[in-house]
Each structure stands twice: as structure tokens, then as C-alpha cells.
């Protein structure tokens, strides 16, 4: 019974740390000019777009803490201290990830401006990136054989993997996402959000695990990522053929004058579900 109370107290401590990290993340986010006044818009203006964006951001913060919790010491004081230290690093990496993404492969998407204008589709697109980046930070910090330096290196590798996955996906299916967002195509944003979260989960599985040395760990991460990404695309093609036989996801969502929202919901959920199955298989 004493073991139960000890585990319960430690779990409560991790939840408290999670709330502390969300508060710290809120403060860090508030330092960025692009998000000043965002909370006021969410409360006073009842902005659904801002609520989606903030909610996904906090979810990314909480997900990123999972890696540290997985290996932290069972000693309450030491374990909570380790989780807090790595959690604070994760908050900084999450914000750095978003800034890096929006200066590079998301630069043409103009997400911040669209979200401030109340575009829920743009909020879904950015929110999915928060979740995906939280997942890859979770993967980068999973395992107690490395340390902060290894975590940062695999975080950067994960960011490159996520960028490569999204760029390749858009090229293969010839999707002009900035144009879709400009046209307020919410189903397109919903479908893309599911794909991005799926890619993030594949990246998480690829870079997770104990550090076994630079050569072996990097080679295994790259091999698992390529396998997971190709398998995810193949599974999506099968789902398109077997579960949505009278049309295609891309035509109904991205190539229609009247985008099909139910098709986008199905596409997004399948992408996330398939990635979860692949994550378990790879892990």
C-alpha cells in the first residue's frame, strides 16, 4: 500500500511540474512579438483559432515532458528535479522548433497572420506542428544514456526529418498548402494536420531509445524514419483504395471546388492511427 501512495504522490508531482512547464511556456511564448496579446484575443474576442493554437501549444509542452518522466529517477526529489530540468529545456526547444520551422519550410504559410485574423484552418496547421514537435522532443529525450547535448542533437535531427517528410509529402501529391490556406480550405488544413501529427509520431519513434553511440544511433534513426515514412504513405494509399473507393482523398479535399470535410476527418484520423501502429512496431 505504501508503494501505491508513493507512486501516486510522484505522479501528482509530475502533473504539477507539467502545469509549471505550461506556465513557463506561456511566459516564453509571450516574449515573442508575434503572440503578444494573443490571450486577450482568445478570451475577450472568443477566438476559436487562438484557442486551437494555444491548446495545441500546451499539449506539445506536456508531450515533450514524457521522455524525461520515462527515465527519471524513482527517488522523488531527484526524479522531479530531473524532470523539471529537462522539461524546461524541452519548452525552450519547442519554441525554437516553431520559430525555425516558420523561418524555413513554413515561411510561405503565413500562419501567425492568418491565426490572428481568426482562421481556424491555419490554427490547425500550426497546432499540428506544436503536437508533432512535442512528440519529436519526447523521442529525443527518451532514454537515460545520453544527456542534454544528445537531446539537442536528436531534436535537431528530428526537426530535419519532419521537414523532409512534409516537403516530400507535398511534392508527391502536388499540394500547394499556402494556396489552400489562402482559400480558407478548412478540410485541407484538417487533413494536413493529421498528416503532420502522423509524421511527428514516426519521427518520435525513429529517434527514441537509449543512446548507443553516434554512428549506430544516427544510422538506426535514419533507417527507421525512411521505413516508417514510406510505410505510412503506402498505408494511406491502401486506405484510399479500400476505405474510400468511390473517390480519392486528395481529389475530394484538395482538388474540389467544394472540399469534402468528412473525407478530411477520415484522412486525418487514419494518418494518426496508422502512425501510432507504426510507432509501436518500430519501437
The count of structural domains within the chain is: 1
Encode pLDDT of 145-193 as tens digits.
557 788 888 999 999 999 999 999 999 999 999 999 999 999 999 999 9
How far, in Å, CA of 84 to CA of 20, rounded? 9
Furthest-apart CA atoms within the chain: distance in Å: 63
Phi, psi of 37, rounded to the nearest 5 degrees: 85, 5
pLDDT given for residue 201 in this prediction: 95
More confident residue, 248 or 16: 16
State the average pLDDT over residues 182-206.
Answer: 95
Q: Which string of DSSP letters, residue by residue, matches the chain?
A: -HHHHHHHHHHHHHHHHHHHHHHHHHHHHHTSGGGTTHHHHHHTS--HHHHHHHHHHHHHHHHHHHHHHHHS-SSHHHHHHHHHHHHHHHHHHHHHHHHHHHHTTTGGG-HHHHHHTT-HHHHHHHHHHHHHHHHHHHHHT-SSSS-HHHHHHHHHHHHHHHHHHHHHHHHHHT--HHHHHHTT-HHHHHHHHHHHHHHHHHHHHHH-S----HHHHHHHHHHHHHHHHHHHHHHHHHHHHHHSTTS-HHHHHTS-SS--HHHHHHHHHHHHHHHHHHHHHH-
Contact call for residues 282 and 206 (beta carbons, < 8 A): yes
Percent of the chain with pLDDT over 90: 52
- Name the burial class of residue 280, with classes exposed (0-12), middle (13-18) and buried (19+) by CB atoms within 10 angstroms of its CB: exposed
More confident residue, 15 or 282: 15
Encode pLDDT of 223-278 as tens digits.
999 999 999 999 988 888 887 777 788 889 998 888 999 999 999 999 999 999 99
Encode pLDDT of 256-266 as tens digits.
888 999 999 99
State the average pLDDT over residues 203-226.
Answer: 89
State the average pLDDT over residues 21-45.
Answer: 73
More confident residue, 19 or 211: 19
pTM of whole model > 0.85? yes
How far, in Å, CA of 182 to CA of 93, rounded? 29
- What range defines the domain where residue 277 resides? 2-282
Q: 55-79 burial by CB neighbour count: b if 16+ within 10 A, else e?
A: ebbbbbbbbbbbbbbebbeeeeeeb
Encode pLDDT of 53-68 as tens digits.
999 999 999 998 887 7
Amino acid at each position: 500500500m505504501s508503494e501505491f501512495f508513493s507512486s501516486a504522490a510522484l505522479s501528482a508531482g509530475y502533473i504539477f511540474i507539467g502545469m509549471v512547464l505550461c506556465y513557463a511556456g506561456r511566459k516564453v511564448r509571450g516574449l515573442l512579438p508575434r503572440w503578444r496579446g494573443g490571450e486577450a484575443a482568445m478570451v475577450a474576442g472568443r477566438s476559436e483559432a487562438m484557442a486551437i493554437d494555444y491548446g495545441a501549444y500546451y499539449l506539445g509542452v506536456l508531450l515533450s515532458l514524457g521522455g524525461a518522466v520515462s527515465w527519471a529517477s524513482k527517488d522523488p526529489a531527484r526524479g522531479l528535479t530531473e524532470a523539471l530540468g529537462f522539461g524546461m529545456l524541452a519548452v525552450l526547444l519547442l519554441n525554437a522548433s516553431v520559430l525555425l520551422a516558420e523561418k524555413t519550410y513554413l515561411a510561405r504559410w503565413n500562419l501567425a497572420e492568418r491565426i490572428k485574423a481568426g482562421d481556424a484552418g491555419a490554427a490547425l496547421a500550426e497546432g499540428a506542428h506544436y503536437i508533432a514537435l512535442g512528440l519529436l522532443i519526447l523521442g529525443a529525450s527518451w532514454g537515460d544514456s545520453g544527456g542534454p547535448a544528445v537531446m539537442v542533437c536528436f531534436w535537431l535531427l528530428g526537426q530535419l526529418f519532419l521537414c523532409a517528410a512534409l516537403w516530400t509529402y507535398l511534392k508527391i501529391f502536388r499540394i500547394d498548402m499556402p494556396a489552400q490556406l489562402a482559400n480558407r480550405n478548412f478540410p485541407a488544413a484538417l487533413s494536413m494536420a493529421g498528416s503532420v501529427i502522423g509524421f511527428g509520431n514516426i519521427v518520435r519513434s525513429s529517434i527514441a531509445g537509449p543512446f548507443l553511440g553516434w554512428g549506430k544511433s544516427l544510422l538506426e534513426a535514419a533507417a527507421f524514419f525512411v521505413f516508417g515514412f514510406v510505410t505510412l504513405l503506402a498505408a494511406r494509399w491502401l486506405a484510399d483504395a479500400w476505405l474510400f473507393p468511390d473517390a480519392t482523398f486528395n481529389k475530394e479535399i484538395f482538388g474540389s471546388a467544394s472540399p469534402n470535410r468528412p473525407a478530411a476527418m477520415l484522412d486525418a484520423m487514419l494518418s494518426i492511427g496508422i502512425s501510432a501502429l507504426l510507432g509501436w512496431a518500430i519501437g
